Amino acid sequence: MADKSKQGKEYPPIIWEVERGKIRELAKAIGDPNPIYQDRDAAILEGYKDTPAPPTFLTVPMMWSSSMPMVINDLKINFANVLHGEEEYEYYKLIYPGDVLTGIPKVVSIEEKTSKSGRKMDMVTVEILYTDQNGEKVAKARSLLIERK
């Protein structure tokens, strides 16, 4: 059962330098053939200043950092009972190779719900606000974790 006293808590920042290779790897992994993610010249021809990060790129720093496991442990969530409910991204500007992102994870809500079958579950929403090396807001990522009881 998630520790409801942690609602509103912020965690140490995720700091991530965006690499062209990681952009390329993610695009290949998700099967996106768009050349703007593979080739800087193709991206420039399409009006970008460089190879842009794909829309789901923010999954990379979140999963490669120790942030999400730290949040799950701190909330006293039983990882064996966790389902990934949804992922949502809100972008304020494009992300490019060389950008240094700083994301502050925050537990924004913890709600108990009952499934149609009568099982209790905790719905935990974690939000990460990312800024770039200039301190400008780049994006907000939201993850919904469902802990079945």
Give me the domains of the chain, ranges plus CATH numbers. Answer: 4-18+54-148 (3.10.129.10)
Neighbours of 135 (CB within 10 A): 7
pLDDT at 26: 92
Is the pTM here over 0.95, yes or no? no
**Nearest-angstrom CA–CA distance, 105 and 111:** 18
Torsions phi, psi for 105 (to 5 deg)? -70, 140
- pLDDT score at 113: 92
Distances (CA, A) of 4 to 7, 9, 68, 85: 6, 10, 17, 18
Express each pLDDT in 61-107 by its tens digit. Answer: 877 787 778 888 899 988 888 888 899 999 999 999 999 999 999 99
Per DSSP, 13 falls in state P
Average pLDDT on 9-23 reads 94
Residue 146 pLDDT > 80, yes or no? yes
Question: pLDDT tens, 26-70?
Answer: 999 999 999 999 999 999 999 999 999 999 999 888 777 877 788
Q: Which pLDDT score, from 0 to 100, does residue 83 have?
A: 85
The answer to whether residues 144 and 125 touch, using CB atoms and an 8 Å cutoff, is yes
